[in-house]
Amino acid sequence: MNLQLVTIFILINYCLAVKDYLFKSCNQNGFCHRNRHYANQISLDSNFQSPYYIDFNQIKIDGDKLRGTVLKIGFDVKFPFEISVIENSFRFQLDEIRNPIEHFVNHNRYNETSKWAFNKDLSNDKADYKINDDQILMTYSDNHEVIINLNPIKFTFYYKNEEVLLINDKQFLLVEHQRSIENNKLLPQESSFNMFSDDFKDSKSDKLPLGPESIGLDFTLLGFNNLYGIPEHADSMLLKDTSGKEPYRFYNVDIFEYETDSRLPMYGSIPLLTAVKKDVSIGIFWVNSADSYIDIKKGKDSTIHWISENGILDFIIFIKDTPKEINQVYGKITGFTQLPLLSSLGYHQCRWNYNDIKDVLEVSAKFDEFEIPFDTIWLDIEYADNKKYLTWDPQNFGKPDEMLEVLERTGRNLVAIIDPHIKTGYFVSDAIISKNIGMKDNEDNTYRGHCWPGESIWIDTLNPKSQKFWDDVHKTFMISDNHKNLHLWNDMNEPSVFNGPETSAPKDNIHYGQWEHRSIHNVFGLTYHETTYNSMLSRLPEQRPFILTRSYFSGSQRTAAMWTGDNMSKWEYLKVSIPMILTSNIVGMPFAGADVGGFFGNPSKELLTRWYQAGIWYPFFRAHAHIDSRRREPYLIGEPYTSYIRDAIKLRYSLLPIFYTAFYQASISGSPILKPIFYDYYNSTNSNIFEIEDEFFLGDSGILVKPITDEEANEVEFVLPENEIFYQFTNGIIGDKINSSKFKVGINDIPMLLKGGSIIAKKERYRRSSKLMKHDPYTLIIALNIQGYANGQLYVDDGESIDSEFKMINFEFENGKLSVNSTGDFSLPIEIEKAIIVGANEVDPELGPVTIEDEKLVIKNPRVIIC
């Protein structure tokens, strides 16, 4: 959903773009302005000497950690720091010793971002330090070395003896220490812009009780020009140079009317930037949840200037051979994506709104009448009694348990929305106020603002006391524990506040621990959906909860899926959804999707068809629409489009075993579900590979896809990695080895290829939902490479419980023989009814005996088709 207020702003200010009017540019945002100013001044002065240095006398080695203090010439300030090694990666944390102030706000620098973002129980790894007069030489893990210069402060990283990364080479390090208006000495290079007040139109009332407290630092990536990550932005996958333009911003906001080619903030932020070149990949993980900007200067070497409004300086550097290893280590620290409910990988049908129980059940029945599979129907805000979350509207949704029961008969689920803004004046908000677990305003009283229900308060999910309360109200709301098919949607959790600055909460609001909202803003959404997740677990401890969140941060992948928010029914939004979802996959948040059909407006039949054909590839596959848009459930579109959309959705269902296997792999290794070409082919001599953002592999399956995102397109051209062969696989129908990467497509075509060397397992029968496919047999497609070899994997479990038994099956085809083995104890028989082999004409065309090293696998004399 989105702001209705938008219309009002548009009316008043129709000549300006809405975004310019509402959202702060770097120049308008005190801390960004000051840091950029500082960087510019320094760049102009070749004799500049940074005042910051590491005090030699205070360096202490404490086991595998090194502790010390950074001082600032001419200022009486102390910045204690710590260097450690976490998951074989370098971590730096710098704090400040501050004096208490006479104000209820916590005066320390916020240091709990990692508490929310990281996995529990991480330990430190070994490191060795040698200290000279002016340098520290640190070695850690295999092949990692850092030289730390004390004055000027500079870190030089070596990997396998190659110099790969410099930190503070440009001397942009700035830590705005605690000051007062009276005692506010500045360096000549510093600007005093908005240090103690904010003159931006909508945030003038920000009291900035702690004054300026930003941090900024530069990273120079040597020989790297291909940079990725740092979502969420409506922009290309390959990051752009921002010199003289707006930097990329992280500030989770309810953005609307966003444009492509934009560095404006969006609903979520993942502060992981990755850089890829031949044989080396680097990740910079900036552990900070405050408003932040990232300036990028690209070249042979690329420089990143990372700036945050407050908090401690905390970052981790990953240096590895491959992008895959970056995902792996990032996932070990922040958690891998959850293995989702298998049924949540099916098709989700949503709109704002389905009006009542009858409407919901009719839609469900229509899908069956038209033989279109679907798993989940969604309820937007109108199901609740007067937009009071955690209640059901007595008139239209009076008997939710009966509705759940009917849906359950065909294996279907219901998702209901529950947002963090709680209407004032009913039992949920009353309890939040009396238990003192709401977000506070800048006078430390429960904050009141406006959102969907009118006047609202916000539950403060940073407060540990919120959990028990949330568990209790969910237990009541979700009816009897017999209904396992009710799941949740957490929207508007940036948090979106209609009358707040930049559509969010005032930065000087207060959370548990007396922390300012300013410090925790970007992690708020995560605390909210995690609290919901725990409440669902407390209700049904065995079952994997499904939650969709709009706002997210590093770590959100552990407990939620995300979607890209409110889009328009236009071709360019369809197109940009692909790079956005690829970026999310590159930074460990692969359970991502975009609203199929677009949220606002009425798509043409062609656009809707193309959107479904692209949407079946979104790891999270949901159609959604605004309350004012016409109904567009696939069966309403009319022939031939309804059939094209049915074919697309059925294709998704036939590939569910492949999606699920990819999710399993993501859940243990952090690997993407949709994988850009560069990910495996970073050593390619074709430098175009790094820019390809409209084409992707589905996990490790070998399926390569290029969705059609242009109106009236009748041809597709793939960019292909060298030294591989591909088979035609359009619409999931295996064909010949391709002899051209360019081919004709019709409106009913979904262009796909299958890489030689792959074995995939599909399920081909139509069922009404994924749960009803459980016992269906598989069809293997064996696509041989030049050597006549192929392999592949299939992951199977019960699809819903947290500790399900599983089976991981390995298929291998070599010398004309298929062998199959497996690990795990899942006992459901797995039947393969058919095997199609392509490329066999280049090897022995006879399929030899099938070797099966597992009596629980049934291969019932599969029909073998050799093409």
Ligand X SMILES: *[C@@H]1O[C@H](CO)[C@@H](O)[C@H](O)[C@H]1NC(C)=O
The site for ligand X (CB under 6 A) is made up of: 111-112, 114-115, 234, 258-260, 564, 567, 573, 576-577, 580, 594, 736, 739, 791, 810, 812, 821
Q: Which residue has the tokens 């803003």?
A: 521
β-strands 144-149, 154-159: how paired? antiparallel
Instruction: Indicate the residue among 249 and 646 with the shorter CB distance to ligand X.
Output: 249
Q: What is the DSSP track for 509-535?
A: -EEGGGEEHHHHHHHHHHHHHHHHHHH
Instruction: Indicate the residue among 739 and 827 with the shorter CB distance to ligand X.
Output: 739
Q: Which residues pair with 167 in a beta bridge?
A: 155, 219
Query: E-strand spans in 420-559?
Result: 421-423, 449-451, 454-458, 486-490, 510-511, 515-516, 547-549
Instruction: Indicate the residue among 529 and 624 with the shorter CB distance to ligand X.
Output: 624
Q: Which residue has the tokens 């909508």?
A: 202
CA 244/CA 221 separation, integer angstroms: 20
User: Which tokens in the block code for residue 405?
Assistant: 């029961």
Give the residue closest to ligand X by C-beta. Answer: 234
Buried residues in 253-275 as b, exposed as e (16+ CB within 10 A):
bbbbbbeeebbbbbbbbbbbbbb
Contact present, 114 and 106 (Cβ < 8 Å): no
What φ, ψ does residue 406 adopt, rounded to 5°?
Answer: -65, -40
Instruction: Indicate the residue among 490 and 577 with the shorter CB distance to ligand X.
Output: 577
The yes-or-no answer on residue 491 being catalytic is yes
> Helix-strand-coil percent breakdown of the chain, rounded to 5?
25, 30, 50
Instruction: Indicate the residue among 117 and 276 with the shorter CB distance to ligand X.
Output: 117
Cβ 266 to ligand X shortest distance, Å? 8
Instruction: Indicate the residue among 226 and 577 with the shorter CB distance to ligand X.
Output: 577
Instruction: Indicate the residue among 97 and 137 with the shorter CB distance to ligand X.
Output: 97
CA 435/CA 466 separation, integer angstroms: 9
Quick one: how far is CA 827 from the chain centroid? 34
Q: Count CB-CB contacts under 10 A for residue 244.
A: 7
Q: Considering 491, 502, 633, 700, which one is annotated as catalytic?
A: 491
Sequence-distant (6+) residues with CB within 8 A of 665 are 671, 699, 700, 793, 795
Contact present, 308 and 291 (Cβ < 8 Å): yes
Cβ 345 to ligand X shortest distance, Å? 18
CA 131/CA 148 separation, integer angstroms: 9
The yes-or-no answer on residue 241 being catalytic is no
Cβ 607 to ligand X shortest distance, Å? 12
One-letter amino acid for residue 244 of the chain: G
Three-class secondary structure of residue 650 per DSSP: helix
Q: Of 319, 323, 313, 321, nearest to 168 (Cα)? A: 313
The yes-or-no answer on residue 722 being catalytic is no
Contact present, 191 and 33 (Cβ < 8 Å): yes
One-letter amino acid for residue 519 of the chain: S
Instruction: Indicate the residue among 206 and 595 with the shorter CB distance to ligand X.
Output: 595
CA 597/CA 623 separation, integer angstroms: 6
Contact present, 315 and 96 (Cβ < 8 Å): no
Q: Considering 218, 375, 566, 833, which one is annotated as catalytic?
A: 566
Instruction: Indicate the residue among 41 and 669 with the shorter CB distance to ligand X.
Output: 669
Q: Considering 494, 508, 647, 700, which one is annotated as catalytic?
A: 494
Cβ 45 to ligand X shortest distance, Å? 36
By annotation, the residues acting in catalysis are 491, 494, 566
